[in-house]
Structure formats: C-alpha cells, structure tokens
Amino acid sequence: MAGLLPAFPPSFPFTATIPVRITDVNYGNHVGNDAVLSLLHEARMQFLGHYGFTELNCGGAGLIMRDVVIEFKKEIHYGQSLRIDVVASDLSKVSFDLYYRIRIGDTPAPAVLAKTGMVCFDYTAKKTMAVPEIVKTAFQPHD
C-alpha cells in the first residue's frame, strides 16, 4: 500500500532532540500514536522558537493545524533519544506545511515520517489570514 505522504524536501534546517518519556509508551511497550503527535507538537514549538515565533504569534499570525499525516516505520521505545528534523515547505497564501523526520539517536533511517498542514489564523477576527512576509522569509531554503 502506498503511503499518503508526498515527497519530502531535500534538507532539514532544524533538529530537535527529545527523549522518550515513560508517559509516551503504551500497552504495546512502544511509543503510542497519540504520543507521536505530541512529540511532533514539541518539535514544532522548538522549530518555531528557533525563528523567534510561537503558535500564537508566528510573525503576527496565529497557527491552526489543518491536517496531519503520520507514517510509522519502526517502533520507538522508552529511554531512546529522538532527533526530530523539521522543515517548512509548500507555502501558499494562508498556509504552509511542516515536514518531520523522526530518527532514533544517530540512526539515519527514519522511525516516523510526518507532515502537518498549518494555517495562519487571526484569533481576534476568527478568520484565516495571509502568511506574514517575515515568516515566508524565515522559512525560505538556505543553501
């Protein structure tokens, strides 16, 4: 069966290192799917913080997650250290995608691949808004 994820961008400008907590582990003795979503959230917060942004103030816009796709490749266990690579791509008028590659330690092969669609949102007016220019500039690929 083919995965739902599109082709990934060629490089990742940011890596978050996050340890697996016991609360991330489910009855199958591995990280649960709900915990993976929380790990992506933490990596996203660190990624945004790297650029001086937050989810409530991303260059003047709030952010709402529109969608998420997670593809599991291998089990992740308690005590392992995860390297979560993050890159922004596919910027449009009001949204962009964040791609994530979760690796266990220095292992090059991904344990999880994921994408979240993020929409810029004005929480006061309760409507979508354009991706701020400062965000477009920050998220441009730097070779």
Query: What digits encode the pLDDT tens for the residues 9-49?
Result: 888 999 999 999 999 999 999 999 999 999 999 999 999 99
Asked if the model's pLDDT at residue 94 lies above 60, the reply is yes
pLDDT in tens, 117-139: 999 999 999 999 999 999 999 99
98 in Cβ contact with 26 (< 8 Å):
no
> Is the full-model pTM beyond 0.75?
yes
Q: Is 16 exposed, middle or buried (0-12, 13-18, 19+ CB in 10 A)?
A: buried
